[in-house]
């Protein structure tokens, strides 16, 4: 029997699975420890259910994922809007050095993926899917570029990318703190003593907090503002801010898509719409910072970013065709093991030395493994766990790593991925 869900049914199911994923993450130790994203939890469990139903001949499900593409473009637009050059200047020389090694990692990951794919006799684009797309790019990059690769005729690209991202997520969480601790012991580095300048480490998720939301609403223990706590004026302000931010994002999306079409017609070089939108967003953000045309509310941008990422990633995970992975399991495992060996070598022998061979450098190595194989939340969790061991928070690391890992890496990594896909495709 074949069951086809409509656009509305598929979207509603995606939201339910996203909510379930958030619920499960807070209550399952393994999911919380390794920072497994909520869309991965809910969407992946559903894709396994689809696999079981298909393999047993019970029912074959078809989903309408039309909204995945616009949600994805909106998410990458918010990434571009956060790419302020003024932010780079605040991080100083150390942030620039960290960015250079992150960009270098993206370059090497794709070169390794392409090279290993050719050696193993598989499509080189699948090597890119097991490279910077899924490792530095995480599940977001995997869900974004997988369909693009499949549109180029590469069957199973999305499944390979998502599987690689999941491997990286767990591997980065397991190895990050371990490597950082080894470097501290190997080079006989002593952790700095806690002082007022650095402060003691405030462990993530240490306990309930009460703080003010962006509109003055009181946040409960889960950090989510209660709507009834805000005044009507504040609610209007929130609506106005969200509306203006959504309008900016919508206009940038349109211009970015037109840019991609124009470049494709002019040069024959395929530029995905989400990359074009991100480029336009970066340009707009930095020109607007200089000229002050429009006030861009970072809280509203972050809210839209979280919602669009969760929604499009859940849709991508739901529609995974896991059965396509069977014939690629062996080559994929070899490529990922080589990628893992390289990043450990690169982090231990290059990154650590370039960043100063000190406590801050070791903390950043833990973060580097986290987002170099997984995602920025993994990087933060790695650094938090490592610093907890010594009772001292590395303020430099907690400033630089999220800035680079969440936003600035994509300024080079995404164009590089697009170029590689066009080159080998």
Chain segment 81-122, per-residue pLDDT in tens: 876 777 667 667 888 899 999 999 999 999 999 999 999 999
DSSP element (H, E) containing 62: strand 60-62
Highest mean pLDDT among 172-186, 208-222, 270-284, 353-367: 353-367
Least confident range of 96-100, 120-124, 196-200, 394-398: 196-200
Q: Kindly calculate the radius of gyration of the chain based on its CA atoms and give it in whole angstroms.
A: 22
pLDDT the model gives residue 420: 93
Is the predicted pLDDT of residue 210 greater than 60, yes or no? no
The SS3 of residue 223 is coil
Query: pLDDT: is 196 or 362 the higher one?
Result: 362
pLDDT of residue 90: 67
Residue 159 confidence (pLDDT)? 87
| pLDDT tier for residue 7 given thresholds of 50, 70 and 90 | very high
pLDDT tens track for 211-237 = 333 333 323 323 333 444 445 555 555
Closest CA to 367 of 108, 93, 202, 177: 177
- Per-domain residue ranges of the chain: 2-192+309-424
Query: How confident is residue 194, by pLDDT bands cut at 50, 70 and 90?
Result: low
Q: What is residue 195's predicted lDDT score, i.e. its pLDDT?
A: 55
What pLDDT does residue 218 have?
Answer: 29
- Mean of per-residue pLDDT scores for the chain: 82
**Cα–Cα separations (whole angstroms), residue 144 to 24, 26, 306, 317, 358:** 24, 26, 15, 11, 37
* Phi/psi of residue 188, nearest 5 degrees: 50, 50
Band (pLDDT 50/70/90 cuts) for residue 34 is low
**pTM metric for this prediction:** 0.68
Measured CA angle at 118 (ends 117, 121), to 5 deg: 85
Distance CA 172, CA 368 (A): 9
What the block records as the tokens of 191 is: 């952790």
Please list, in sequence order, all residues whose beta carbon lies within 8 angstroms of the beta carbon of residue 264, skipping any fewer than 6 positions away: 270, 271
Phi, psi of 218 (to 5 degrees): -85, 130
212 vs 265, more confident:
265
């Amino acid at each position: 029997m074949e069951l086809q869900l409509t656009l509305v049914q598929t979207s509603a199911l995606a939201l339910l699975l996203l909510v379930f994923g958030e619920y499960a993450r807070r209550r399952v130790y393994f999911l919380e420890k390794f920072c497994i994203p909520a869309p991965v939890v809910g969407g992946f469990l559903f894709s396994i259910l689809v696999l079981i139903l298909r393999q047993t001949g019970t029912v074959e499900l078809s989903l309408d994922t039309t909204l995945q593409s616009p949600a994805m473009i909106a998410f990458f637009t918010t990434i571009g809007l956060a790419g302020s050059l003024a932010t780079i200047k605040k991080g100083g020389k150390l942030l620039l050095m960290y960015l250079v090694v992150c960009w270098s990692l993206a370059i090497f990951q794709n070169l390794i993926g392409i090279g290993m794919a050719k050696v193993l006799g598989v499509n080189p684009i699948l090597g890119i899917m097991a490279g910077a797309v899924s490792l530095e790019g995480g599940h977001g990059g995997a869900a974004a570029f997988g369909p693009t690769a499949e549109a180029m005729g590469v069957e199973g690209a999305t499944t390979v990318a998502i599987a690689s991202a999941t491997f990286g997520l767990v591997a980065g969480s397991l190895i990050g703190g371990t490597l950082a601790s080894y470097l501290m012991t190997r080079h006989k580095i002593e952790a700095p003593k806690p002082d007022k300048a650095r402060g003691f480490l405030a462990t993530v998720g240490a306990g309930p907090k009460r703080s003010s939301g962006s509109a003055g609403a009181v946040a409960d223990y889960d950090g989510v503002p209660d709507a009834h706590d805000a005044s009507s004026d504040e609610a209007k302000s929130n609506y106005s801010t969200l509306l203006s931010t959504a309008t900016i994002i919508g206009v940038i999306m349109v211009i970015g898509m037109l840019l991609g079409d124009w470049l494709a017609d002019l040069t024959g070089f395929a530029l995905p719409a989400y990359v074009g939108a991100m480029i336009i967003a970066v340009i707009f953000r930095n020109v607007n910072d200089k000229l002050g045309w429009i006030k861009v509310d970072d809280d509203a941008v972050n809210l839209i970013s979280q919602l669009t990422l969760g929604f499009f990633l859940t849709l991508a995970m739901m529609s995974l065709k896991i059965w396509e992975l069977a014939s690629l399991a062996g080559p994929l495992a070899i490529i990922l093991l080589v990628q893992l060996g390289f990043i450990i070598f690169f982090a231990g022998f290059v990154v650590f030395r370039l960043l100063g061979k000190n406590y801050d450098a070791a903390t950043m190595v833990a973060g580097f493994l986290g987002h170099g194989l997984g995602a920025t939340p993994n990087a933060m969790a790695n650094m938090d766990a490592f610093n907890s061991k010594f009772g001292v928070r590395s303020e430099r690391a907690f400033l630089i790593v999220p800035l680079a890992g969440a936003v600035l890496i994509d300024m080079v990594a995404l164009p590089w991925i697009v170029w590689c896909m066009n080159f080998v495709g």
